[in-house]
Structure 1
């Protein structure tokens, strides 16, 4: 795909891992996704094919397990933060340097980013790069109302056995919302990041070799073959996807 230089309002445009062990996380993702990790003076920018894809930031106060934060694009950060306050979200950090860290009414954490000189990820939906993000919450209708007010999403419910809504921005699907059921007991609301791979089964095997667990083994979905991975040493939870076709 061509290099990405812009994002529609509401589209995931960047991902940041806060971790207590950045060295272990860098080693893990380099081995799994082929990331080239470049020191930025206190944090690391990961690249695929010379293009930025994500950040790894050391933080001794980071949650355990480590957590990925999705950055959702906006063309007007101040206006987005005004809407955030009006619909029950909480600002927990910023605004500064074009971004703010927030939580939705259920406690799921995300960032709002107004691209400037740095547009965000230079590539999406290629092996090694972020391809999708979804928020997992206990009340789907309330989440749709919240995020639909915060961003100009067109929301489309997915038919099937689970309550899932796809959010569209700029005329294309950009992220989703899953309503958590009884199978999610004890799991707090959160955003999940997906990274693409060319061969999911090989990637899952490689993740295990690198010390990760696979709490959700590979399964087929309408959007590709997916697995959930947990790297307890510093890489946190995330999903791997092999695109359909």
Structure 2
């Protein structure tokens, strides 16, 4: 992540997959999401995913001796990772890794009070990468126990403003959830009702990453053929359809397609 300063402190600025087998993950996501991959010169354990020549996400491999779960993690831009990490600890949450120097910036991984994992990034980010635009994720969703409490926690840690013109990133309460906007773009939603002790990772508090695909059924078929699984029923709104998938190592992600498939009706 380098070359252009992120305009919105507190906004999502990257997503990354932590996995055990980098080569296997590249084959799976290449088949399902049409990604290609490049090594950015940081060793054999990291690659950047591209779609139509533009960067989408990062994939990093962890040592097998570590007892970690494969998972997707969103990162949020902060002006000072140490200050943000201190705020996290002050509010009874956990900083699991860092802040550490990495790729021209500083990064940390943390878990909020309900246990949902997220990252911090201090530094420059890739130009043009923005949730809701181009090949970047369509949006992010935090499903947690208490949306109100979560919004307060993230708002205090990441300096989310209550309403414009307080800043580029704002959080607003709408019906039973919280909507996060970066400028005019809706980039994330916080919903309540998750159950921390539930054995199903779909129900436990966590951040969900939604990627666009042109055809939902084709993406599902590709995932099953490549050793993945379907982890939720297909859901539908007025404009789109989406379903949560699991990759061969169990990392969950959501694919989102237009309501009408290309070439239909």
Of 233, 236, 258, which residue of structure 2 is paired with 1:220?
236
Of 155, 161, 185, which residue of structure 1 is paired with 2:198?
185
Distance in 1, Cα, partners of 2:153 & 2:87: 9
Q: Relative contact order (alpha carbons < 8 A, sep ≥ 6): 1 or 2 greater?
A: 1
- 1:63 maps to 68
In our comparison, the structure showing a higher alpha carbon Rg is: 2
- 2:114 maps to 106
State the TM-score, normalized to the length of structure 1: 0.84
Distance in 2, Cα, partners of 1:18 & 1:164: 28
Kindly tell me the number of residue pairs found equivalent between the two proteins.
236
From the superposition, tell whether residues 182 and 236 of structure 1 become closer, same or farther in structure 2 (CA, over 3 Å).
closer
Quote how far apart the aligned CAs of 1:179 are. Answer: 1.1
Of 80, 89, 111, which residue of structure 1 is paired with 2:93?
89
Distance in 2, Cα, partners of 1:164 & 1:19: 31
From the superposition, tell whether residues 121 and 57 of structure 1 become closer, same or farther in structure 2 (CA, over 3 Å).
farther
Distance in 2, Cα, partners of 1:145 & 1:109: 16
Aligned pairs for 1:119-138 (under 5 A) are 119=126, 122=129, 124-125=131-132, 129-138=136-145
Quote how far apart the aligned CAs of 1:85 are. Answer: 2.7
Quote how far apart the aligned CAs of 1:7 are. Answer: 4.4
Aligned pairs for 1:1-245 (under 5 A) are 6-40=6-40, 41=43, 42-59=45-62, 60=64, 61=66, 63-64=68-69, 66-97=70-101, 98-116=106-124, 118-119=125-126, 122=129, 124-125=131-132, 129-151=136-158, 152-153=160-161, 154-159=170-175, 163-181=176-194, 185-186=198-199, 187=201, 188-221=204-237, 224-231=240-247, 233-234=248-249, 236-243=251-258
When the two chains are superposed, the root-mean-square deviation of aligned CA atoms in Å is 2.7
State the TM-score, normalized to the length of structure 2: 0.78
